[in-house]
Amino acid sequence: MAKNKEETVLITKDGIRHDGRKREDLREISFEVGVLDRADGSCLIEWGRNKILAAVYGPRELHPKHMQMPSQAYIRCEYRMATFSVPDRKRPAPNRREKEISKLLGEALDPALFTYLYPRSVIDVFIEVLQADGGTRCAAITAASLALADAGIPMRDLVSGVAAGNLSGKVVLDLDDIEDKEGEGDLPIAYLPNLEKVVLLQSDGIFTPDQYKEALDMLVPACKKVYQLQRKAITDKYSQINDAVQKDIDAEAKAKPAKDKKKADESKAKDDKKDKKKADDGKKSKADKEDKKKKGLKKPSKKKDDKKQASKEKEAKKD
Amino acid sequence: MTKKGLISVVEREHILSLLNHGKRTDGRSFNEFRKIQIIPGYVQKAEGSAIAKIGKSKVIAGVKAQMGAPFPDTPNKGVITTTVELVPVAAPEFESGPPREYAIELARVADRAIRESEAVSNEDLVIIPSKSVWILFIDIYVLDHDGNLYDACELAALGALLNTQIPDVKIVTNEKGEEVVEVLETTHPLVMKHTPISCTFSKIGDNIIVDPNYDEESIQDTRLTLAFTEENKICSTQKGESGSFSVEEIKKCIDIAAERTKDIRSQLDKIVDPQGYPWSEESS
């Protein structure tokens, strides 16, 4: 495939890579949270030319039953690549690489979740790589953790992934496909940025112990950078919902005085009903929040609560 | 996420409380391997074979060479594939059938260390460029499971490759003017450029130990395998299970693994013992 191997200069003496990036530069990353309608949570990530879709279903009942774990939920992760995601068509059946990555991603997501809250259940995480361009497992786990947050599953932390690589003895971050194939080594990690824990660690190719340690030191700040983007993506989504709800409320408030008396009476009755419901909701969410405080929850799941409440308010208004 | 081996609460607490006092159930220190032995040439019908023993764990690897076409994108390279079978003789939780996730991960970790270190000289496997190469199948069978299968599989594969004999070939031109490969009776040893050796860590609570046995593995939180070449370079890493490591812990593991793999390599002459008896229960 890469026949012009000799022509591609992976990294110059000044540390400029073939696509113009510096050693520690990441490719452009963008997220869209909640892109799928049917899934409980979903996220599309575009990381350089990688396009990866992650969807979460659950927690739900686990079949076959003998797989159920009495004290915690089972994280079932499935990482798949589309046949057209790579230059040569990939056979549709899952290969050994996909099975290995699926296992590792499931194990890496586990420490980020309060799995003990859902004994005997399964949380399904499905990942479809639509276009692959190096570093798919890191991008996939980054997207998967956002999909889990979007599904409102209580989490200790988000998971952020970045890969380091070895290009002619120089440690660089975030390899693309060409660098991955032509470079000397690849070292993907996934990291819990707040808990400061490494949950996924692999390497292939050659690293000296010093290069390896340098790579780890570069990867930690990079993962924290990715975490900021993730956080922004999920907070943006809910602030949009909030804005939309607020707009509706404002519009209704404006429209009210124009309506005739009879309708006003009706709407007053409805408002009473709504207020009652709101109060109920308020009680519930307060209790929820306290409950969650005990479990040391992070923002995303709380946000989801806000969303739920917001949509409830919306529904209440509709009828 | 794999269901861990069944172990009683008393046993679990016992192992854990010993570890918290800096001790292990079998009396080893945290960074100490069990006795390692490699018995080469156990199966004569294979091109190369070896049984690797770490403590009571026993693993056999066989190498078969087959002539075939190279991959189109690497016409000047041979092909090496590694598989691991967890056969039901080895442990009560192993069942026959197609390889599960765990076996696939084991195989890919053993494969990665050999492939990424370029342990086998790929060019030596080429017979006629882009037409005919040797395909090496390294098939590993776990025979007895007492923990640390990652290092055992890696050692068995290495031991088998080290005594692999490749048939000599002669290229003749037939009457149609095509090049035909003729396999001769004689053989030559496979050329090995590197000897990757791996070191596996288990993290139980805050304790990180080398070469976990079966009981320790069954209560481990997470696992880390690091493979080193003889040039003290890291050629493969794999973290498994659902726990986590801090960056400092990983750095410490790198230093320990570098030392341990160096120790094993320096004793390789003693470890590889053609006279060894694979089934004896030697105290480790």
Residues A191 and A306 in one domain: no
Q: Considering only residues 187 to 216 of chain B, which have any Cβ-Cβ distance to chain A shorter than 8 Å?
A: none
pLDDT value at position A259?
59
Beta carbons of A201 and B224 less than 8 Å apart: yes
Has residue A119 got a pLDDT over 60? yes
Contact B215, B19 (CB under 8 A): no
DSSP-assigned beta bridge partners for residue B84? B140
pLDDT value at position A2?
45
Has residue A292 got a pLDDT over 60? no
B125 inside 8 A of chain A by CB: no
Burial class (CB in 10 A: 0-12, 13-18, 19+), A247: exposed
Contact B207, A158 (CB under 8 A): no
pLDDT value at position B281?
63
The H or E element containing residue B77 is none
| Rounded Cα gap, residues B199 and A111, in angstroms | 24
Nearest to B1 among A75, A202, A216 (CB): A75
Has residue B89 got a pLDDT over 60? yes
pLDDT value at position A301?
46
| Rounded Cα gap, residues A309 and A198, in angstroms | 35
Residues A213 and A93 in one domain: yes
Task: Kindly list the distances between the CA atom of residue A220 and the CA atoms of A15, A149, A171, A197, A205, in Å, as whole numbers in the listed order.
Answer: 20, 22, 14, 10, 21
Mutate to test the interface with A, among B244, B251, B259 (most CBs of A within 10 A): B244
A121 inside 8 A of chain B by CB: no
Neighboring chain B residues of A1 at a CB cutoff of 8 Å:
73
Of the segments A5-14, A297-306, B135-144, which one has the largest average pLDDT value?
B135-144
> Which residues in A155-177 are b (16+ Cβ under 10 Å) and which e?
bbbbbbbbbbbbbeebbbbbbbb
pLDDT value at position A247?
92
- pLDDT tens for each residue of B6-36: 788 899 999 999 999 999 999 999 999 999 9
Amino acid residing at B207:
N
Q: Which chain A residue has the Cα nearest residue B111?
A: A204
Nearest one of B150, B146, B142, B155 to B57, comparing CA atoms: B146
pLDDT value at position B130?
86
- pLDDT tens for each residue of B217-258: 999 999 999 999 999 999 999 999 999 999 999 999 999 999
Q: Tell whether A250 is covered by a domain.
A: no
| Rounded Cα gap, residues A207 and B228, in angstroms | 9
- Weakest-pLDDT range from A11-25, A56-70, A93-107, A273-287: A273-287
Nearest chain A Cα distance for residue B280, angstroms? 35
Contact A65, A98 (CB under 8 A): no
Mutate to test the interface with B, among A203, A214, A223 (most CBs of B within 10 A): A203
Structure tokens at A124: 């399904």
Has residue B280 got a pLDDT over 80? no
pLDDT value at position A272?
60
A82 inside 8 A of chain B by CB: no
Nearest chain A Cα distance for residue B174, angstroms? 33
Q: Tell whether A251 is covered by a domain.
A: no
pLDDT value at position A194?
96
Contact A292, A284 (CB under 8 A): no
- Residue that is last in its domain, among A232, A249, A274: A232
| Rounded Cα gap, residues B65 and A44, in angstroms | 45
Cis peptide before A64 (omega within 30 of 0): yes
Q: Which chain A residue has the Cα nearest residue B112?
A: A204
Q: Considering only residues 192 to 231 of chain A, which have any Cβ-Cβ distance to chain B shorter than 8 Å?
A: 192, 195-209, 212-213, 216-217, 220
Nearest one of A187, A207, A43 to A126, comparing CA atoms: A43
Q: Quote the mean pLDDT of chain B.
A: 91
pLDDT value at position A268?
59
Tokens 């399964």 appear where?
A122
Residues A203 and A267 in one domain: no
Rounded to an integer, the average pLDDT of A254-267 is 65
Q: Tell whether A247 is covered by a domain.
A: no
pLDDT value at position A175?
94
Rounded to an integer, the average pLDDT of B156-164 is 95
Rounded to an integer, the average pLDDT of B189-208 is 94
Rounded to an integer, the average pLDDT of A271-296 is 51
Count of domains forming chain A = 2
pLDDT value at position B176?
84
Has residue B181 got a pLDDT over 80? yes
Neighboring chain B residues of A216 at a CB cutoff of 8 Å:
247, 250-251
Beta carbons of A74 and B1 less than 8 Å apart: yes
Has residue B162 got a pLDDT over 70? yes
Beta carbons of A197 and B3 less than 8 Å apart: no
What's the angle, vertex CA A36, arms to CA A35 and CA A40, rounded to 5? 115
Rounded to an integer, the average pLDDT of A165-191 is 93
Beta carbons of B247 and A74 less than 8 Å apart: no
DSSP-derived pairing of the beta strands A121-131 and A74-81:
parallel
Nearest to A204 among B112, B241, B255 (CB): B112
Nearest one of B198, B104, B224, B227 to A204, comparing CA atoms: B227
3-class secondary structure, B173: strand
Beta carbons of B245 and A216 less than 8 Å apart: no
Q: Tell whether A91 is covered by a domain.
A: yes
Q: Tell whether A36 is covered by a domain.
A: yes
B248 inside 8 A of chain A by CB: no
Give the CATH H-level superfamily of domain B9-271: GHMP Kinase, N-terminal domain (3.30.230.70)
DSSP-assigned beta bridge partners for residue A93? none
Structure tokens at A84: 């057209």
Residues A227 and A296 in one domain: no
Has residue A57 got a pLDDT over 60? yes
Rounded to an integer, the average pLDDT of A162-170 is 94
Nearest chain B Cα distance for residue A115, angstroms? 11
Beta carbons of A205 and B235 less than 8 Å apart: yes
pLDDT value at position A261?
57
Burial class (CB in 10 A: 0-12, 13-18, 19+), A284: middle
Nearest to B105 among A75, A103, A198 (CB): A103
Residues A55 and A192 in one domain: yes
Residues A270 and A222 in one domain: no
Containing domain of residue A268, as a range? Answer: 259-318
Has residue A260 got a pLDDT over 60? no
> Which residues in B160-184 are b (16+ Cβ under 10 Å) and which e?
bbbbbbbeebeeeeeeeeeeeeeee
| Rounded Cα gap, residues A216 and A218, in angstroms | 5
Nearest one of A164, A216, A227 to A193, comparing CA atoms: A227
Nearest one of B100, B113, B63, B107 to B83, comparing CA atoms: B107
Beta carbons of B236 and A198 less than 8 Å apart: no
Q: Which chain A residue has the Cα nearest residue B221?
A: A111
Q: Tell whether A16 is covered by a domain.
A: no
Q: Considering only residues 102 to 121 of chain B, which have any Cβ-Cβ distance to chain A shorter than 8 Å?
A: 104-105, 107-108, 112, 115-117
pLDDT value at position A1?
45
Residues A58 and A194 in one domain: yes
Dihedral Cα A219, B236, A79, A116, nearest 10 deg? -70
- Residue that is last in its domain, among A174, A197, A232: A232
Q: Quote the mean pLDDT of chain A.
A: 85
| Rounded Cα gap, residues B6 and A84, in angstroms | 43
> Residue A198: which CATH number?
3.30.230.70
Has residue B56 got a pLDDT over 70? yes
Q: Tell whether A172 is covered by a domain.
A: yes
Structure tokens at A176: 């693309």
Query: Could you give the residue ranges of the DSSP H alpha helices within B21-168?
Result: 101-116, 149-162
Q: Tell whether A4 is covered by a domain.
A: no
pLDDT value at position B121?
86
Neighboring chain A residues of B233 at a CB cutoff of 8 Å:
206-209
pLDDT value at position A267?
58
Beta carbons of A104 and B240 less than 8 Å apart: yes
Residues A189 and A228 in one domain: yes
Residues A143 and A66 in one domain: yes
Has residue A287 got a pLDDT over 70? no
Q: Is the ipTM of this complex over 0.95?
A: no
Has residue A277 got a pLDDT over 50? yes
- Weakest-pLDDT range from A33-42, A226-235, B116-125, B236-245: B116-125
Fill in the DSSP letter of residue A126.
E
pLDDT value at position A138?
96
